[in-house]
Each structure stands twice: as structure tokens, then as C-alpha cells.
Structure 1
């Protein structure tokens, strides 16, 4: 299974490389269903206990993320999208005011299931929130960096399969 996963991610990385700006495929359209467009992240707050033991706010301070729709379902909803660009978030403990920054500037190919599930094939860091008992990492706000796959259920439980990389709970930086 590990070998199959590695081959799958290698194929995705190759697909990402050909779709990134400046590549021949991206410049010629490469069969994509649209053009690169901004995909700004909204700031959000979580109450104490939801991700960290304290109330937290996450807001982008650098947000150059863009997306490219690669394929759609017959109803026009996205089937596969590519996301890339700089994203630096400020994480604030709303109880103490302590802040930290988190680099979430990874590149992800996202494949959407018709049942509300999705799979991310990722290179680089992303920020992922985990609820208590709702995935492969403990509750927290995690920077996951490296090469990995994240599978989301329709209820947003997450399972990460790391090929190589690191995880860091940002809650500990602002506790």
C-alpha cells in the first residue's frame, strides 16, 4: 500500500508541476476548465475547546492563494482543483492576546467526491484544524508540512497519510 500511495502522490506532483504558472501546460490552457483566480481565506474564530483549549482567531496576513479548476461535474461543481500561493496566518489566543504566525503556503490538488468527501494531495505546509476524536491527529490547529494526503469524510473528519514531513500544533505557540 505504501508503494501505491507513493506512486499516486508522485503522479499528482507531476500533474501539479505541469499546471503551475509558467509551465507549458498552464500557458496553453492544458485542458483546464478555467483560469487561475484568487481564493482568499476568510478570518475565523473558534471557541475555547473547539481546536485549542482557549478561544482562537486565525486571520491571513499574507494571502496570495489562487486556484485553478481542472475538472468539473456535469452540474458545474468542481471535481478537481489546484490551489497554490503564499498564505501566512496570524493565530491569536483570544484570552491572552498571544500571537504567532503560521506558514500555510503549500500546494494542493483537491479531488471532490459526490458525497461531500474530498482528498487533498499536498506538497508543503497547510494549516488544518482537528476536533476532538475527529481524525488522525489530536484536537488542535496543526501545521502539516511535507508530502502527504488528507482524506476528508463528508463530516470533515480527517485522515492524514504522511509520505514524509512534520506536524506541529500551533495551539502550543500561543498557549
Structure 2
């Protein structure tokens, strides 16, 4: 195992010690609800998509702050299930995306810019045309992944171990 993978596995093991059940009762964990979203035809898939959380027990906790008080590192844990629907055909896929993530922010970063996600999936990410190192689509990454967002929101995904699914392809069938 490479040093980088070992470090990531160790970090994630420490993170997973904070289970969602414990998160509800201690240590600064707060709910982190996910919003439904719509993607018009051509932005993520060839057809319009609607995604809706059907179970959302995700919690977050700030682990480190910059000297100005802004968040430097944050953890996410908890169950999350989404229904993702092809609005042209009404075909729906239910996906479990309740993985765990450790998010590092550059100064002034957000979840979708200047941040790096270290995750044990499953987790879901959308890609626009030329929006990263994956073709346009809505992906579920299940395993150990790193997703780095640059200042414009372009994503670079590194898969250490695991599988990925493009839900656009599955919803087209």
C-alpha cells in the first residue's frame, strides 16, 4: 500500500470512529441537509434530471479553522439516499450515497470551489461538459476517492480503490 493510500485509510478510519449515532448526541455535530436539485437537458445528462433526497441523516462537524475563523477542515457522516429521475421517461434510480467525507478548504473555499474531498463512498457528484476529469454526467463514487475542486469548480477525481457509476447511462436504459 502506498504511503498516500495508507495515510488516507488511516484518516478515514479515524473519521469513521465518529459514527452517525454518536454524532447525534455529542461533539459539535450538526445536521447537514441536502437539497433536491434539477439539471436541465444537456447540462449533466442528455435529458432533464431531478434528484430528491428520500433519507437524509447527514451530520457535519468542523474539525479545524483558519485564524480568521473560517472553516479549514470539516467531516461529514451519515445515511443519505436520493431518488434520481430522468424527467423525459420518468425512470427513477434510488442511490445510496451515504459515505463519509473529510473536506479540506483553501482560504475562502466552499464545498464546490477550492476544496478537496477525501471520501469513503458512496458519494454523488455531477460533472458539466469540461467540468473535470470525467465526462459530463452524474456519478456515484463508491470506495476510496479524492475529489479536488479548483477555483472555478472544475473537479479532479482520483480513485484509490472502488467503483464509479454514471447515472446518466443507467437512466437512459
CA distance in 2, matches of 1:50, 1:28: 40
Residues 1:28 and 1:85: Cα distance change in structure 2 (over 3 Å): closer
CA distance in 1, matches of 2:160, 2:18: 22
The match for 1:118 among 93, 115, 120 is 115
Q: Which residue of 2 aligns with 1:149?
A: 146
Residues 1:54 and 1:70: Cα distance change in structure 2 (over 3 Å): same
Task: Provide the TM-score with structure 1 as the length reference.
Answer: 0.87
CA distance in 2, matches of 1:7, 1:20: 21
1:11 offset after TM fit, Å? 3.2
1:18-37 → structure 2 map (5 Å cutoff): 18-20=17-19, 29=27, 35-37=28-30
The match for 2:59 among 58, 66, 74 is 66
Q: Map Cα deviations across residues 99-125 of structure 1 (whole Å, 9 max, x no partner).
A: 111111100000111153101110120
More strand as a share of residues: 2
The match for 2:102 among 100, 105, 109 is 109
Task: Provide the TM-score with structure 2 as the length reference.
Answer: 0.88
- The unaligned stretches of length 5 or more in structure 2 are none
Alpha-carbon RMSD across the aligned residues, in angstroms, is: 2.1
Q: Which residue of 2 aligns with 1:79?
A: 72
Residues 1:124 and 1:99: Cα distance change in structure 2 (over 3 Å): same
How many residue pairs end up in the alignment? 167
- The unaligned stretches of length 5 or more in structure 1 are 30-34
